[in-house]
Amino acid sequence: MRLSRYFLPVLKENPSEAQIVSHRLMLRAGMIKQAAAGIYSWLPLGFKVLRKLENIVHEEQARAGHIAIQMPILQSADLWRESGRYDDYGEEMLRMKDRHGRDMLYTPTAEELVTDIFRGHVSSYKDLPLTLYQIQWKFRDEIRPRFGVMRGREFYMKDGYNFDLTKEDALHAYNRHLVSYLRTYERMGLQAIPMRADSGPIGGDDTHEFLVLADTGESEVFYDSAVTDIRLGQRDINYDDKAQCQAVMEEFTSLYARTDETHDEALFQQVPQERRRSARGIEVGQIFYFGTKYSEPMGATVQGPDGKQVPVHMGSHGIGVSRLIGAIIEASHDDKGIIWPEGVTPFHCGIVNLKQGDDEADAACDKIYKALTALGLEPLYDDRNERAGGKFATMDLIGLPWRITVGPRGLKNGVVELTSRRTGESEELSPEAAVTRIAEIYECSV
């Protein structure tokens, strides 16, 4: 993409309404624009990152054997009355009537709807296990929407639902989700710690939240610092292997890590003093096992091996896809702007032409741009007739992890400058070598 043809409405000044770094930088970098309190339009740069995160989630869900569907945004209140949640959910649920006077609601979560799908089509234990998920816009009418996409009213979420014959099978689904979530977050350049949490209106006794440590987090968390040393990495996980998934679950949850709602000071005191930590955390996902909470009242049963009808065991599992963007920025920025991890960057690198209109510089930039594009990479070429300082400021603000700077002086010596946004370190390379280096970073074949 050439910047002269892109829609990137960056702001020079900090917006007065933005209270935290991610909100401020997303507005300044032209990623979002507020449409109403807690509701945002996603502009090209923000929408591009949103799609990158969504694709990672889809890939890791498929790897775990989960099946994507798409459910409607509006739901009938009748299903929620059937489960007993319609009157219990509270004022966060946006309720409405259609033209025929039927009670409807804007989806905050979809346990009832997916249970209705299941009970209409699955009748035998032979069709289990089954996990269905979607990535879709949700709405919760927060009384005080704030912090941009971190606590908005409209948000983009992956919500998945498992259906299993027994509690043992459902707890394997719980472990499978935990493993897939760990891999998902690591691919995004995040360390999200699973912490024992409160189930809230979803219900159930078994639940973990995944939290990213950040000063602006909404939750106070208490943890053993040793948990921050664990990584899933490139392990080959067989998601059908119950013992292997259970082992990963125990590895990541055996050390003390809890949100303030479930904090147990007596247990916390058993952690060696030098490893006791309290901090703030941003929730980016949560997994639940709630047994037959929905299947029993809604009649979601299957015929078991003995021929008897039994309610299925269920769980639900969410990832806040739009919220993740704010969490990544909170965890990865400096005073100049965003610093995107390579796995989620909107463009793989920036190309800055120091002297637009110079034949040699223009030709070199075009050649680099075409070479990167031919490798399947997406560079952002700043071909505007602007001062170099302004171009650098824009690149620093939007946070592309690598920048190739091209100017007449360097080209006389046959070199361009490759700069890491994270470290600020630069090196001079031939244009061909700079392309090769970017390709190696993103594991492309040259």
User: Per-residue pLDDT tens for 220-235?
Assistant: 999 999 999 999 999 9
Single pTM value for the model: 0.94
Reply yes or no: is the peptide bond before residue 44 cis, omega within 30 of 0. Answer: no
Please say whether the beta carbons of 279 and 121 come within 8 A: no
Strands 349-353 and 379-382: parallel
- Would you state the pLDDT for residue 444? 65
User: Per-residue pLDDT tens for 159-168?
Assistant: 999 999 999 9
pLDDT above 90: percentage of residues in the chain: 88
Please say whether the beta carbons of 133 and 173 come within 8 A: no
User: Per-residue pLDDT tens for 331-385?
Assistant: 999 999 999 999 999 999 999 999 999 999 999 999 999 999 999 999 999 999 9
Amino acid at 378: E
What does R_g of the chain's alpha carbons equal in angstroms? 24
- Would you state the pLDDT for residue 103? 95
Both tokens of 312, joined, read: 């299925």
Please say whether the beta carbons of 79 and 110 come within 8 A: no
Please say whether the beta carbons of 30 and 41 come within 8 A: no
How far is the CA of 302 from the CAs of 119, 124, 129, 316, in angstroms? 8, 5, 12, 19
Both tokens of 385, joined, read: 């007739």
User: Per-residue pLDDT tens for 88-131?
Assistant: 888 889 999 999 999 999 999 999 999 999 999 999 999 999 99
How far is the CA of 52 from the CAs of 257, 324, 348, 421, in angstroms? 29, 11, 12, 20
Average pLDDT over residues 249-260: 94
Q: Helix and strand tally (H, E) in the chain?
A: 13, 23
Q: Name the band, by pLDDT with cuts 50, 70 and 90, for residue 445.
A: very low
d(CA 136, CA 138): 6
User: Per-residue pLDDT tens for 262-281?
Assistant: 999 999 999 999 999 999 99
User: Per-residue pLDDT tens for 20-38?
Assistant: 999 999 999 999 999 999 9
- Would you state the pLDDT for residue 102? 96
- Would you state the pLDDT for residue 446? 44
- Give the total residue count for the chain: 446
Residue from 367, 383, 373, 319 nearest 347 by CA = 373
Please say whether the beta carbons of 142 and 92 come within 8 A: yes
How far is the CA of 310 from the CAs of 119, 131, 276, 294, 303, in angstroms? 12, 18, 45, 13, 6
